[in-house]
Structure 1
């Protein structure tokens, strides 16, 4: 069909209600042309990312997980972005699952990947003096960091979930002193409050992932798996507590650095409710704007989007990444965060 005819036929469908205006940005079309090459690269865990994108911790330990991880590894290598493995808890119990987690041969040496393990398992490892076993597994995986997820609500809701009784910051400090690998910390869909974030700066933690409220919520996921529907309905109000990405960014803008000004934190992953690349860059820009006191690299993380396309094919992931990259190029050419941007993502 002729393009001009298309314009006539589609005119009615092209109408956009004014309420849909994204008022977070100034749009400046007069100041530059279309982007030829936009450099989005940054250093992350001593490696170079081509784009500020992180595939948040996914899956492993099952055949479908292996296929998904292989497709995600393909994306990471091709576009030089980082990713987190799913929890290696099963791998510690069964070495036969190693191939479902072993992505280093697929992504190569230039891409950062991190292993993932829960705080309850960390406490057990410390109590059972099995740090050497954990170090051995991490060494075989050749990961760049151990990401510890602090997930009290998820563990409580999970059928057969573990319990931990030592404050997580104590266990994190202990395990960091016993492992020859950087440590990261994240939640799993509720985010963290001001006191937890302030405590984070006192720990030997290099990477922090928000896993904020508003995206994939593993507490809700475990609750939905319970068979006791009365209990499920009764305790359900807990899934709506937490902190979204904006509130966590605002917290970082108010925190106090140690007296000597030295912190271990070097990298931030903003995840949780990041619906699009536009939201991701907006959150990155906001973080940098209100935290000039922090010298950290910042990326945005997504899990659900990558998972959905990874279940389809590599080609689906390529199409998604094409849109993301071109969208980010256009963002950097024509959009800027307004000085009076409100608290909406």
Structure 2
């Protein structure tokens, strides 16, 4: 058996060569300074709850036929591994409880993990205009959620064939909502991120956190254009390729901290993160307390049986802890 293993190593040695061009320059590998991680990691405070790993399952599903299975699987995994969860758009259940069970997952996620409801800024603007902001308070309360995510998506709404036009700057809607209801808020984009001035304004608001929804991952503006008339798609598609990446946004916020003291002090770094190393790099780079978001990759594993999702997340967290143990940020890497 040992002979077979050595022969296997000889063959694999030829197949496992790496080139200089494949090196990840963001990290310095320090192999001598720690034992293997034992899987025991201390929990930490985030959004008023305790988390065991800096992973947030970002909002995706919003009332599809399989949303109940997906949301329950994700909620169960968040409970088991100590992660945070943002529901998909809850617009469908604001005034109609037909699909309520698709979103009502507090029992599955448990009392200790963060669980946040979600509405678009266009819906929030309309509710405020109609003086129906109590519906938001009721939604969050009846879901037993910890607060509300407001997703800001002017491009998506504009390109969506059945989208709602936004009548005032989203910043004004968010400020008005903060003044009228006593519900913790997170503000996020939906795939194109936010520029420095928008981030500066949000940092000055009493938000629970900012979620990036940065450029480079699922792009809901492009998604809606793909559903639109081909003539409109040809005209507007260039807009789908503008935005800020998660790294650009971390850099912007880090530099803004030298100019002003933020009121909002927590981040969910999401959008365009391909692996746990991207998450580890950006969380380590951030000067504000941060977790990183996973959305489409989790969604892909959450549509079937729970064990499939459990195995995927378990392996992701093992890899993240290995990175924490042996990798340091490279100070010479061009950020």
Q: TM-score, normalised by structure 1?
A: 0.92
Compare 250-259 and 269-278 and name the one that shifted more.
Answer: 250-259
Uncovered stretches (5+) of structure 2, i.e. residues with no partner:
none
Q: Which runs of 5+ in 1 are unaligned?
A: 289-295
* CA distance in 1: counterparts of 2:9 and 2:105, whole angstroms: 47
Distance (Å, rounded) in 1 between the aligned partners of 2:40 and 2:324: 8
Pairs aligned (count): 333
The residue that corresponds to 2:105 in the other structure is 103
Displacement after TM superposition at 1:9 (Å)? 2.9
Three-state SS of the structure 2 residue aligned to 1:86 is coil
Cα 1:38/1:28, change in 2 over 3 Å: farther
Measure, in 2, the Cα distance between the counterparts of 1:225 and 1:109.
Answer: 39
Match of 2:33 in 1: 31
Change (3 A) 1:38 1:108: closer
Higher deviation after alignment, 162-171 or 40-49: 40-49
| Alignment partners' CA distance in 2, 1:249 and 1:189 | 15
Matches within 5 A, 1:1-345: 2-39=4-41, 41-226=43-228, 228-255=229-256, 261=261, 263-288=262-287, 296-343=288-335
Greater than 3 Å deviation, 4+ residue runs = 256-259
Matched-pair contact (CA < 8 Å) for 1:277–1:324:
yes
Give 1:201 shift.
Answer: 2.0
2-structure distance, mates of 1:255, 1:31: 34
Deviations 1:105-127 (A, max 9, x none): 11110010111111111110000
Task: Calculate the TM-score normalised by the size of structure 2.
Answer: 0.95
Kept in 2, the 8 Å contact 1:201–1:257? The answer is no
In the TM superposition, residue 256 of structure 1 has moved relative to its aligned partner by 5.4
1:220 & 1:336 partners in 2: Cα distance?
Answer: 36
Question: Partners of 2:257 and 2:311 in 1: how far apart?
Answer: 42
